[in-house]
Amino acid sequence: MRYHNITKDDMLNGDGLRVVLWVAGCDHCCKECHNPVTWDPNGGLFFDEKAKAEIFEELEKDYISGITFSGGDPLHSANAYEVMMLAKEIKEKFPSKTIWLYTGYEWKDIKNMDIVNYLDVLVDGEFEVEKKELDLHWKGSANQMVINVPETLGKGEIVLHEENC
């Protein structure tokens, strides 16, 4: 897996102060994407133990709410397995921290992937510039959903994250 950046003290990509891992690789190539530099799965830096330690150091801080995976697309074939393993390790080591993931894939296409068992919130769907609304919370276009993953898995139907309702 490759990544472009680790953002610290981020308040734009999920509830609270977060650390954000911006992975490399995306096949969606959404028109007017805010981060097209991350599309190339061979771009950025190799995700190594030093990068992982940097993330864990941030997650140790009491005031950090959790981690957000973005990019690129964390579920791109170049990322999906390693993101899942990292999410699993974070959930085990920091059970009180939340894990958010942004993807261009829709819930119906990923709901059976193992990674959903480690997510608290999933923002799904491609960014559609025609449906862009500046007042949306946690998403860029009206077609996207901000999904409370544990409740959705428990009920068997999509439950939106409370901040999104």
pLDDT of residue 112: 96
Q: What is the pTM of this model?
A: 0.94
Q: What is the pLDDT of residues 1-14, one digit of tens each?
A: 999 999 999 999 99
Instruction: Measure the CA–CA gap between 164 and 94, rounded to whole angstroms.
Output: 25
Q: What is the pLDDT of residues 16-51, one digit of tens each?
A: 999 999 999 999 988 888 888 999 999 999 999 999
DSSP string of 66-130, one letter each residue: EEEEEES-TTSTTTHHHHHHHHHHHHHH-TTSEEEEE-SS-HHHHTTSGGGGG-SEEEES---GG
Q: What is the pLDDT of residues 119-160, one digit of tens each?
A: 999 999 999 999 998 888 899 899 999 999 999 999 999 999
121 close to 133: Cβ distance less than 8 angstroms:
no
Type of residue found at 82: E
pLDDT of residue 163: 62
pLDDT of residue 122: 97
Confidence of residue 164 (pLDDT cuts 50, 70, 90): very low
How many C-beta neighbours within 10 Å does residue 88 have?
15
